Structure formats: C-alpha cells, structure tokens
Amino acid sequence: MPATPQTMHKIGLTPLALPFLLLAATANAQSPAVDVAALRDAALKDDIAMDIVEGLTTEVGPRPAATEREAKARDWAVVKLKALGFSNVRIEPYTMPAWVRGEETATLVSPFPQSLTITALGNSGTTGKKGLTAEVVYFPTLADLQAAPDGRLKGKIAFVSHAMKATQDGSSYGAFGAARFAGPGIAAQKGAAAILIKSIGTDNHRVPHTGVTRFPEGVTPIPAAALSVPDADQLERVFKRGKPVTLSLLLTPRFNGTQQSGNVIAEVPGSDPDAGIIMVTGHLDSWDLGTGAIDDASGVAIVTAAAKRIMDAGTPRRTIRILLAGAEEVGSYGGNAYYEAHKSEPHVLTSESDFGADRIWRVDFAFPTAAKPVATRIASALAPLGISAGAQRAGGGADNAKFADAGIATIDLQQDGTRYFDLHHTADDTLDKIDPQQLRQNVAAWTTVLAIAANAQESLR
C-alpha cells in the first residue's frame, strides 16, 4: 500500500517519520558495516571538497582545454588523488583540435560612439588584426535570425538577443542557449561577416559569458562574440532610436591544430568484481576568463570528497571510479574518449556533478525495475538533507551522456541553479562564489548515494 499521509496517520506515523524508518530498514539490504546516516551526517562537516576547490583554482587557475594549463591540472589531480589514498590513479591522454583566444574589442561607431564589453565564443573565427567595421542588424530572438531572408546579412554584423531568466532547475539554458550554440553557424550561412549575441546569462554585471559554438560542416567560422548583458541591453536601446548602427569589431582567436588533452581516473576498488563499476564524474577543464571554481572545480571536489569518505569507511562491494574529464567545455572530448576506451567494462551506475556548488534540492533516477528498491532507499536517506525525489527521468551530464544513452543506470543530483548562470563562463567564476555549507551539503548527498549504491545487494544492471 502506498505510504500516503492518510495511511501513515492510520498507523500512528507522521510524514516526517517515514524517511527515518525507511533509512533504518536499509541494514537488511546492504552491508551491516555501512551506517549511511552516520556517513551522511559526518559529511556535513567535510573540508576535503573545499581544500580541492581552493587548491585547483589557486595552484592551477584557469584550465582551457588542450593547453598547458589543462595539462598542469591533470598533473595536479594525480598528485592530489594519490595523496588522498585512491588506487589506480592515472592519466589517459587523447588528442583533439585546439582553439586559442586572442584580442577582443568592440566599439559602437555610430550613432552614439562608445566601447562595448565582449568576449569571443569558443571556435570563433577571426576578423584579422585590422578588424572589421560594418552595419549591425538586430534580431530580438534566434527565431528572427532564422527567419531572415538569405542575403540580407551579406557583409553585415548580426546581433541576436534573448530573454533568459534565472530558474532553479537551469531549464532557461536549454531554452535560450541555442543563440550561442547555433546562432553563429546560422548567421554564417546567411552571409554575415560576424555575429554578436547577448550573453547566455542571467546577471546584470558587465562581464560577458563565453562558451563554445559550432559551425556546420563546410561553413567557414565567422567572428563570434558575446556582449555582456548590460552592453546588449544598451545596444538594444540604441536600436530603438531608429538610426542605422555601425560597429567596429576586433577578434583575433586562432585554431591551434591538434593538441593533447586527457582524463584523470582514480578508483576505490570494490570487494566483488562481478558487482560492477559505479562511475562518478566532474570535469577538470574550464574556460579561461575565471578560475573555474563553480564550473567545474566544485564538481571535481564533490565527487572526489564523497568517494574518499566511502573509501575511508571500508571496502565497498562495488568499485567506485572517479572520472575527472578533460575538454568538456569545448565538446565533451574527455567523456567521449572515456566511453570509447571503457564502454565494454561493467559499468552499472553513473552520475555527474557539473552545475556549481549550491545545494542539491532534488534527485532523479533512471533505474532498472530490479533496482527500484535502491532508488527508494537513496531518496529516503537524502530527505533529511532537504532533497526531494523528482518525477523526471535522469538524463546524466555531458561526460556520462553516452553511458546514460546506452541504458546504464543514472542518478541526477539536481543542484539549485538560481544563480548559476550569473557566473557561468565568466570572469566572475572564482573561489569566493563557493558557499562552504552548500558545498558540504553536496558532499553529504553524494556520500549518501555512494554508500547505498556501492553496497546494495540488488543488481543495478
């Protein structure tokens, strides 16, 4: 019978009592040596995660994909993981195309001369060192750009805006992010000389948001940059005056050929080789504007700290494998390389932390029927942390997406994204934005998940 408020009342229970009763019942389904509640509560005082975030952002700093800085991050991570006591720590290299930022300036020439704050999008083409000056055509939305007649943009600069707002679940990124993902390619196909977009962000600070864009095969990349939100708003007000707008743009990024990137892997070996591998992941690389604290040093720290706590509590039944992926920001090269190298291994569960460091408020599952009791126990054990069970199917993240798509069981620990896109891909992504208590709540939630999933007797396949 479902445990509704009415049925609980009939047997003398309150709704608040249910999570604790279900948690107490877990001893029958997993190793008696695992005290999930004790591990969870101890993690609320964790200092390991903050130490990792502080070290990675201070001693390495920005970590653009396929650069010396990203290589330094891999070396740093290997030393840290070995010092923490993990097993089988190694780097798995791969090669990938590299892109490097150059100069970037924008000046409104007419009708109201002034400087604008911009940053190049990843994979942007170049204006050349002399820059370009051209008329600007304004599109309030990406749909307006898509509807523009062919030839209208020949030799002109497209400016695409949007109306992104903050949401707890981050869904606004999916709704408006296409202006960055696809907008430059569309503008190039319509003959534009360059494109500016309103930053895919929800802040009101004069700090533009970078991020990768992709041009369709056979389409030559054009100069592509993001305006800070206030500068984009300013440009919109200029257009409302009804006068022709001319802008000078200088962007000198370059493609740097094929370079090396890599993943860092570490393990907590399990006692039962036949029970499978639980893979948890964050990504080591970051954009170059800030120090990548929320994106994704915090995710690296959260999964590592949680796995460390399970390791220190004893040998779990299943092996826990940490994947610190490289080159996520520019196309999930690390996650894809890991999948190709390890897809034949017995992964049974995967999860990713890559949405900052603010508190987890919901958990979603994609579990086989036989593992539903495990999901129930996890949800119950997370409830005291203020985390509710969601109704959506977990989809995984960028670096474990191929495993999720292949049907491997997946858990999404949904973090509060209300302020995430104020900071995402900007110079403001720095250590001071991490709230230590919310970071600890993340570690406690991940510790809880791993304590239950790594020791559950049920099959997770």
pLDDT string in tens for the chain (461-residue length)? 333 333 333 223 333 333 433 444 443 344 446 899 999 999 999 999 999 999 999 999 999 999 999 999 999 999 999 999 999 999 999 999 999 999 999 999 999 999 999 999 999 999 999 999 999 999 999 999 999 998 889 999 999 999 999 999 999 999 999 999 999 999 999 999 999 999 999 999 999 999 999 999 999 999 999 999 999 999 999 999 999 999 999 999 999 999 999 999 999 999 999 999 999 999 999 999 999 999 999 999 999 999 999 999 999 999 999 999 999 999 999 999 999 999 999 999 999 999 999 999 999 999 999 999 999 999 999 999 999 999 999 999 999 999 999 999 999 999 999 999 999 999 999 999 999 999 999 999 999 999 999 999 999 98
2: which DSSP letter?
A: -
Cβ atoms of 302 and 47 within 8 Å: the answer is no
215 vs 185: CA distance, rounded Å: 5
Within a domain: 145: yes
pLDDT at 151: 84
Within a domain: 461: no
Do both 91 and 108 map to the same domain? no
Do both 244 and 368 map to the same domain? no
Within a domain: 385: yes
Do both 331 and 270 map to the same domain? yes
Residue type, 236: E
Cβ atoms of 455 and 381 within 8 Å: the answer is no
pLDDT at 26: 41
pLDDT at 332: 97
Alpha-helical segments (H) within 206-283: 229-240
Task: Give bridge partners of residue 255 from the DSSP assignment.
Answer: 99
Phi, psi torsion values for 166, nearest 5 degrees:
-70, 140
CATH of the domain at 446: 3.40.630.10
CB atoms within 10 A of CB 237: 10
Do both 188 and 77 map to the same domain? no
Do both 69 and 132 map to the same domain? no
Within a domain: 458: no
Do both 68 and 127 map to the same domain? no
List the domain range (segments joined by +) for residue 333: 5-97+258-453
Do both 85 and 111 map to the same domain? no
Beta pairing class for 277-283 and 347-352: parallel
pLDDT at 302: 98
Out of 252, 284, 316, a domain closes at 252
Q: Please state the domain count of the chain.
A: 2
Within a domain: 334: yes
Within a domain: 357: yes
327 vs 334: CA distance, rounded Å: 6
Do both 317 and 386 map to the same domain? yes
Within a domain: 126: yes
Do both 437 and 363 map to the same domain? yes
CATH of the domain at 146: 3.50.30.30
Do both 52 and 136 map to the same domain? no
Task: Name 356's Cβ contacts closer than 8 Å, sequence gap at least 6.
Answer: 294, 295, 298, 415, 417, 420, 423
Count the alpha carbons within 13 Å of 458 in the hemisphere toward its beta carbon.
Answer: 19
Cβ atoms of 293 and 308 within 8 Å: the answer is no
314-319-324 Cα angle (round to 5):
110
pLDDT at 5: 33
Cβ atoms of 166 and 202 within 8 Å: the answer is yes
248 vs 237: CA distance, rounded Å: 18
Within a domain: 460: no
Do both 330 and 401 map to the same domain? yes
Out of 187, 219, 252, a domain closes at 252
Do both 324 and 278 map to the same domain? yes
